[in-house]
A and B are shown apart, each in its own frame.
Chain A
Amino acid sequence: MRFRRPGAVAAGTDTADPGRGLELRGVGHRYGDRVVLEGIDVTLTEPRVGVIGANGSGKSTFARLLNGLVVPDQGQVLVDGLDTRTQVRAVRRRVGFVFQDPDAQIVHPTVAEDVGYGLENQGVPADERAARVAEVLARHGLAGHADHPAHLLSGGQKQLLAIAGVLVMRPARIVFDEPTTLLDLVNARRVGDLIAGLEQQVVVVTHQLDLLHDFDRVLVVDGGRVVEDAGPGPAVAAYRTLMADR
């Protein structure tokens, strides 16, 4: 059993209550006339949460709700008690987000500069920034690449860099939206192992079902609703049955 205490890593002196986790209360969301999510009521406190479902079922929208990238039309999303609608800054400090396409989330031309970017935004002083960047790069096997141009990295290295850029900010929870979709098997495994070793709470949206085998809880999303909410075994089975009927 891994020992994890999501709140322990969080910085900040806001009024958050680290024990509360991610709470979605009566959440619904639409784009124009199209209902993308509805009637979502879940509280996520488990260290490892997976989200699976068909293309277009609403998984990414669900993930984006968790750090305020999307604010729900209906209901509330609370992160450790902080409302994503009104306290988005504090929420973003607690919840990191890793996207599918590493190219789109690397914003500086070289590796170390990119990792330091989020810290710059947080106003962390230059010397502390350099130390934290060096530490994260070393831990994720990118130490030799600090001054490497980002566009010359391999796809897997780019995704590791994107994750390093989030980890360096020490969020208490990290949401991954299909972090391994664009990677080959070796790199996908590397990223999977990295996620498995994190001390933070993680929420992983994925089509790669084996990534979830030792997760604590898996949600199956279909047509904008959570249709199954169980351990990885039963949830994946339910998902397979659902897809077999299409």
Chain B
Amino acid sequence: MTLALYVPRASAVHRLPAGLKLLCLAVLAVALFALPTITAAGAALAGVLAVGLLVARLPVAVLARQARAVRWWLLALLVVHALTTDLLTGAHVALRLLTLVLAAAVVTATTRVSEMVAVVETVCAPLRLVGVRPARVGLAITLALRFIPVLTERADRIRAAQAARGGSPRGVRALRTTIAPLLVQVLQMAHDVSEALDARGADVEPPRAAWRRS
């Protein structure tokens, strides 16, 4: 799984409020389904590429990586439609998916996680009524994004350590021999992270009044 991370640039797209960008993404998705023609999808794709590459000046590689991640899906859509309906429909559906994936990639690459999380927290604010703490939801998302690469790295390290001692299991067995030690590390790390969060004041509700900071 590839995580499109923030790509810093001084562009107008980067400066747009995160909420607005997410709204545009939603509008684009609705529009692509409301206007189901291949021309519309093609125009949208051109638009997304223009915004991402020319306005936001993202490297081609960032978008290419996302496209590559869904290439089998695109191919499957194309094949299934070619067999059941016709190739043109298949191309249309695949183009639409590609457009949305790239649009989402442009939004994530131009928006800091903290801004994105702030939007999620705002959207979740009404859930306060049922006892959900929006800040907690935001923290959970942030932590997930932060620790996916860490866990990938730990899993690689475990596999390397096993390989170094001659183990080179494949398939299901490899999964099993990696998962058990990884789980142990994850639990240990979860404990360490919770302590670190505590030490940096995570459980302290933000003060209501400015006098506290005087």
Chain A residues within 8 Å of B, Cβ to Cβ? 11-13, 64, 67, 69, 89, 92-93, 96-97, 99, 101, 103-110, 113, 116-118, 120-124, 146-147, 149-151, 165-166, 169
Add 14 more A-B contacts to A13-B214, A106-B146 (CB < 8 A).
Answer: A69-B195, A89-B201, A96-B199, A99-B195, A107-B139, A108-B114, A109-B145, A120-B206, A121-B206, A123-B206, A123-B212, A124-B213, A147-B6, A147-B112
Most buried by A among B143, B193, B200: B200
Most buried by B among A116, A121, A147: A121
* B32 → chain A closest CB, angstroms: 29
C-beta contact mask, B148-162 vs A, less than 8 Å → 1, else 0?
Answer: 011001000000000
Whether the Cβ atoms of B196 and A118 lie closer than 8 Å is no
Bound Cα distance A67, B189 (Å): 20
Whether the Cβ atoms of A113 and B192 lie closer than 8 Å is no
Whether the Cβ atoms of A110 and B199 lie closer than 8 Å is no
Complex contacts, A151 vs chain B, CB 8 Å = 146, 149-150, 153
Given A11-B214, A116-B114, A123-B213: A101 and B192 interface contact (C-beta under 8 Å): yes
B112 touches which one: A105, A110, A123 (CB < 8 A)? Answer: A110
Chain B residues within 8 Å of A, Cβ to Cβ? 5-6, 8, 112-114, 139, 142-143, 145-146, 149-150, 153, 189, 192-193, 195-202, 204, 206-207, 211-214
Whether the Cβ atoms of B199 and A92 lie closer than 8 Å is yes
Bound Cα distance A165, B197 (Å): 11
A162: nearest chain-B partner, CB-CB: B196
Whether the Cβ atoms of A92 and B211 lie closer than 8 Å is no
Whether the Cβ atoms of A92 and B201 lie closer than 8 Å is yes
A104 touches which one: B139, B192, B211 (CB < 8 A)? Answer: B192
Complex contacts, B204 vs chain A, CB 8 Å = 89, 92, 121-122
Bound Cα distance A7, B145 (Å): 37
Bound Cα distance A118, B143 (Å): 14
Bound Cα distance A97, B202 (Å): 13
B113 touches which one: A89, A104, A109, A118 (CB < 8 A)? Answer: A109
* A101 → chain B closest CB, angstroms: 6
Given A107-B143, A109-B146, A151-B153: A121 and B199 interface contact (C-beta under 8 Å): no
Given A89-B204, A113-B113, A122-B201: A104 and B212 interface contact (C-beta under 8 Å): no
Complex contacts, B201 vs chain A, CB 8 Å = 89, 92-93, 118, 121-122, 169
Bound Cα distance A97, B194 (Å): 13
User: 5 closest Cβ contacts across the A-B interface?
Assistant: A123-B206, A104-B192, A105-B196, A121-B201, A147-B8
Complex contacts, A110 vs chain B, CB 8 Å = 5-6, 112-113
Complex contacts, A101 vs chain B, CB 8 Å = 189, 192
Complex contacts, A99 vs chain B, CB 8 Å = 192, 195-196, 199
Given A106-B146, A113-B114, A149-B5: A13 and B212 interface contact (C-beta under 8 Å): yes
B198: nearest chain-A partner, CB-CB: A69
* A113 → chain B closest CB, angstroms: 5
Whether the Cβ atoms of B200 and A149 lie closer than 8 Å is no
* A62 → chain B closest CB, angstroms: 15
* B57 → chain A closest CB, angstroms: 14
Bound Cα distance A105, B112 (Å): 20
Complex contacts, A108 vs chain B, CB 8 Å = 113-114, 142, 146
Complex contacts, B195 vs chain A, CB 8 Å = 64, 69, 99
* A64 → chain B closest CB, angstroms: 8
Complex contacts, A169 vs chain B, CB 8 Å = 200-201
Whether the Cβ atoms of B199 and A103 lie closer than 8 Å is no
Give me 8 A-to-B residue pairs in the complex whose CB atoms sit less than 8 angstroms apart, sorted by A's number. A96-B199, A99-B192, A105-B196, A107-B143, A121-B200, A147-B6, A147-B112, A151-B149
Complex contacts, A107 vs chain B, CB 8 Å = 139, 142-143, 146, 193, 196-197, 200
Bound Cα distance A166, B200 (Å): 7
Complex contacts, A122 vs chain B, CB 8 Å = 201, 204, 206-207, 213
Complex contacts, A109 vs chain B, CB 8 Å = 5-6, 113, 142, 145-146
Whether the Cβ atoms of A67 and B199 lie closer than 8 Å is yes
A102: nearest chain-B partner, CB-CB: B196
Complex contacts, A96 vs chain B, CB 8 Å = 199
* A69 → chain B closest CB, angstroms: 6
